Every structure is written in C-alpha cells, then in structure tokens.
Structure 1
Amino acid sequence: MRPSLAQLEAFFWTVELGSAQRAARHLNIAQPTISLRLKELSDFLGIALLERAGRGVRATPEGRALLPRIATVMAELRGIVGHDPMKQIVGPIRVGLAEGFAVTCLPPLLAALLNDHPGLQPEWAVSTSTTLEAQLLRDALDVAVLLNPIGDERLTLAALGAQPTAWAAPSAWGLRGPLAPQDLWSLPIISNPPPSAMHRQITGWFAAAGLTPSRLSVCSSVAVIAELVAEGIGMSLLPERMVARQIADGSIQLVPTVPPVDDGRLFVAVRSGNEDVKIQAVTAIIRKIVLQIGYLRGR
C-alpha cells in the first residue's frame, strides 16, 4: 500500500486553505471524505500531519517537512492536465472585491485560481464598492466585484445576481420581528460611511418611511461591523452568508422587517473596452465559485 494522489491532494488543499471544509468545497467533495483521506494518509505515514490553529488547521512540523514534496506532485499534476490554453494564462492582475462578498468568497475563489490558472498573480483589494469603483475608474484595478454600484459610462457591468441581505442585530437584544423603520430608527446602527452601498441602503430604507436613524455610527470595515454587532454594540444591514458563523454561535440574529430589505445586487465591473484574457479568466472563475457555493439568492 502507498499514499494515493487523492490523499496527497486532500492534505495539500487543507493546508493551503486552512480547513478541511474549504478543501472539500474546493475539490467539490464531501468534508467526511476529506477527513477520511487525511486520516488514512496520517495512519500510513505514522505521523500527525495537522493541528488546530484557531478556527482552522495548519500543518504540524512533520507535515510542513512533507509539504514541499507534495506541492511538487501537485505542480506536476497540473502540468500533465494543463493542455487547456486557459491554464497557460500568466501574469499579475489587480482584483477588487466588495468586503462583504470577500469574507465568504475569497478563500474558494483564490483556491480555484491557484488550481485553474497557476500562472496568474492576483493582487487583491478588499474595500467598499464605492472605493473599488473609483479605483477602477483611475486604472488602479483591472476588475472588481461591486455591490450596488453607482455606475459610470466608462465601466462595463455584468450582473452576478442577488446577495442575500438582512438586518442583523445582537441576539442579546431579543428583538422579535417583523419590525418596521419606526421600531428601529432610535436604536444604535452601524454603517459603512457615505456614499457606500451599505449607507445608501440603510438611509434609503428609513427614508422611505420618512425617517432618519438617530444613532448612526460609521465604520469603514464590514467585517468589523459584524464583530461590533456580535458584541452587542449596534445593529447593521449585512450579507447573510457573512454572518453565518455568528448566527450559528448565537451572538447575532437576523431580524425580519416590514418592508423587507432589498438584497444587494452584485456585478463584475471592468473598464469599458478592456478585453484582457486575464480578466476573462478571473470573471469565469468568479461566476463558477458563486454557483458552486450557492452564494446568490435563488442559486
């Protein structure tokens, strides 16, 4: 008996992505299958390959010693199956991601790019959509995933779909819906600063009822806002998938409202007329990943 390619692949991607769950999603197989392959490889070699690291895992010293050899095997495998011309795309590309989208989608997106286009050298920018839109316009980015973009004739927008969005509140508040703007306007609310998509959506939701939130704070990071909500500081309008962990651990609850919140609309944006093959490759991977992980509403 000897280690199988599937076992080596399971170990490589688990270390690369930091968890068996992400490795399973990347390889499009069930997590128990990944766990079984990791155990079989560890038992065969007679060493512990992985250890806990926060909420994920990392290679043990023994595992790290093996990793360069396994990485060589993975590279050779890519070479064997690399007859697809798209796999020969190489060079840097500057990719912007709206932060709420990036928190969930960047790990599988990066893994897919490493696998399908190992010659690409992505440079990631994670920020609010309005910041990314401005960077695209001044040629500081090549392509970006934007949420509810303002729009400019110099940009070409291709719709991805609806990002599930909801009011998120500290579970400790014990809110029971459905709630109206009149029920929430006086509560502490945290938003990205104007003119961000989040700020426009929050203020627009209240404005439709003739109200302005009276205790509105701003923070530039969507991920930090989620942590502030989990700590009981305030509530916010957040992507549902981004706060799945906090919902599961009971620190955040989604609050149904009347009227309901509109889902955010995601677009892939490029400067008009830019038909770089690297942009086409990244766009195709983005579309594949959001379908693969079921990120969009109705997908």
Structure 2
Amino acid sequence: MSRIPEAHLIHSRLRLRQLRLMLALDELGSLRRAADEIGMTQPAATKMLHEAENLLGVELFERMSRGMRATPFGETVIYYARMVFAELSGMREELAALESGNLGRVTIGAIPALASGLLTRTIATLKQSHPRLSMSIQVDTSDVLVQALLQDQLDVVLGRIPPGARADELLFDSLGEEALCVIVGAQHPLASATAQDLSWGQLQGMTWVLQQHPSPMRSIINQAFYNAQLDIPSSIVETTSIMTLLSLIQQTDMLGVTPLSVVNEYPGKHLLAVLPIEFEPRLPPYGLITRRHRIKSSAMQAFMGSVRTVYEQQVQETD
C-alpha cells in the first residue's frame, strides 16, 4: 500500500516555508546554511524537514558525511517547488501590472520562419488592442525554445514539438503546416534548372546553409539525403537566423533550406530562386506550445487569442 498521502492532505498540510527550505537545502547542501538562508534556527529547520517527510511518507534528503543530498523523492518535490514559486512570481508580476493599468507581460519564443510573418503581424495587432502589454521575444529553433519553456524561461512558444521532447508536459494547439524548399541566389548557375536536371546527388557536394541539429527542419533535411542514399553534405554553414541565410544565399553560390512562406513574404524574393526539387519527408505542424499544468495569465491568453485570429486572417487571404 502506498505511503504517499492523498492530494487533498498535501494541499492542506504542506507549507510554502517547507518548500523554501527544500530549495535552499538543495542549493546549499547544508541544513545549517539553509536554515540561515530562510531566517530560522537549525533545530527548527530540522523539525520542519522531518514534518514534511512524515507528511509525504518518504525520505526527501540523505544525510551524508558532509551535508545533505536530495533523494529521487526529494528531487521530484524540488522540481515542483520551483514551479510553485515561479507561478507565485508570475502572479505578483501580473497583479502589479494590473494595478498600474497594464495587461501584464508575456515572454514568447518563436521559430525563425514564423518570427517575420505570423509573429510580427500578431504583435502589431496586439499593440493596437493592448498598447500597454509588455512582450519579450526570443527567436530560436524549436528544440531550444521548448527546453526554455520547460524551464519556465518562456510563457508560450510558437513552433513545433521537437523529437524527444517531454510531450506529456506540453499542450500543443496546432495551427498549420509549412512546405520546405531549397533556395539559391537568382544568379546561381542552378537558378534556371528544371526538375529533370536536378537530383539530390548533384546538390550533395555544394555548400549548404542549414539550421543546427537537432532542430526539426535540420532533421527533415538529413532525412532527405538519407532517403536518396547519400551522406549529409560535408560543407555546411549553420545558423538559426533567416536574415543571415537569405544574405548568404544572395551573395554566394551556397544553397539554403527554408519554408516556402518565408520566400513568398520576403521583399527581395526576386533575388532568390526556388529549386524544383521536392522533399519526401514533411515538417511536423507548427502551433502554440505551453506547459500542461501552467495557468495561463491574462497576457498569455491575449497573445494566444491574437495569434489564432491573425493566422485565420492569413489563411483567408491566401484562399
């Protein structure tokens, strides 16, 4: 029979001060130093830790010859304690924002292909309806952004669920799919090539501008060469910046891979050429990604609602 108590007992008996002690103990490794950190005596801290362990029915920290170390049970409690205090900090920021007449703050992660289109239009729309909403933007690949989301460094990600992500901890609101294309500069020798003229084998020996592994887009490109029974190109320039990619493509004989929507929305698209070669593997859909157990603030809800509205408008414009 499990020693772990029912959730309602934990809710009513576990105290924030006990969680603060565990975080301090995990960071400092010493009960005396942890007690000093939160402003209490060592005997009181020892009693508080014992009370928490008795309540949860498990040992949370091992007593070592030099200090203390979290058990697997303790590591789990510490993980959730960090989330509790992160949520409390978020609550405080939102209360302060509402008090000052602001909607609040939202930290957003976006993949490069969506940053210049969907995200830009969403921000412009939001600033008209909520001029005092504060937004912080991080542009990177989905694997980097989702990791930051899981560490509570971001509120919401506009991107894809990367391979190997802890999908059970995430909520995914799918928006759409993107087709990938291989691009070169308009002056490139292959710019006027036909589909009959091109093969992956011909392109394999050229210099490519690609995203870093293990981004979803890079995985698709690697798969395309694998399907063609070819090695990955040996000459690669890696970047997450769309502008760097487009600049290199225009000024050199390098090849790049980008969503077709990026090319169509690029003001200088006449300086580019899309090669008539298709990808068999497809990118997974993109959408809004949040933490499963994270309560959505007013600022998050406003941003996510605006993304959906702007996306639907874009779909209608292209129909």
TM-score band by shorter chain is 0.5 to 0.7
**Residue 142 (structure 2) aligns with:** 129
Question: Tell me, which stretches of 5 or more residues in structure 2 are unaligned?
Answer: 1-100
- Check 1:263–1:224 CA distance in 2 against 1; reply closer, same or farther (3 A cut): same
Within-5 A mapping of 1:205-284? 205-212=224-231, 213-244=233-264, 250-260=270-280, 262-263=282-283, 265-276=285-296, 277-284=298-305
Using structure 1 for the length normalisation, give the TM-score: 0.64
**Residue 204 (structure 1) aligns with:** 223
C-alpha distance in 2 between matches for 1:210 and 1:247: 36
- Check 1:255–1:261 CA distance in 2 against 1; reply closer, same or farther (3 A cut): farther
Which of the numbers 145, 148, 158 marks the counterpart of 2:158? 145
Shift of 1:233: 4.1
Shift of 1:232: 2.2
Counterpart amino acid of residue 169 in structure 2: R
Shift of 1:286: 0.8
**Residue 37 (structure 2) aligns with:** none
C-alpha distance in 2 between matches for 1:254 and 1:156: 34
- Check 1:295–1:173 CA distance in 2 against 1; reply closer, same or farther (3 A cut): farther
Q: Deviations over 1:120-140 (max 9, x none)?
A: 211111112211111101100
3-state DSSP of counterpart to 1:166: strand
**Residue 156 (structure 1) aligns with:** 171
Q: Which has the larger radius of gyration?
A: 2
**Residue 168 (structure 1) aligns with:** 183
C-alpha distance in 2 between matches for 1:154 and 1:104: 28
Q: Does the CA-based 8 Å contact 1:241-1:295 persist in structure 2?
A: no
Q: Which runs of 4+ in 1 moved over 6 A?
A: none
- Check 1:187–1:173 CA distance in 2 against 1; reply closer, same or farther (3 A cut): same
Q: Does the CA-based 8 Å contact 1:170-1:232 persist in structure 2?
A: yes
Question: Tell me, which stretches of 5 or more residues in structure 1 are unaligned?
Answer: 1-87
Within-5 A mapping of 1:54-203? 90-147=103-160, 149-150=162-163, 151-152=165-166, 153-175=168-190, 176-178=193-195, 179-203=198-222
Q: Does the CA-based 8 Å contact 1:136-1:271 persist in structure 2?
A: yes
3-state DSSP of counterpart to 1:293: helix
RMSD: 2.5
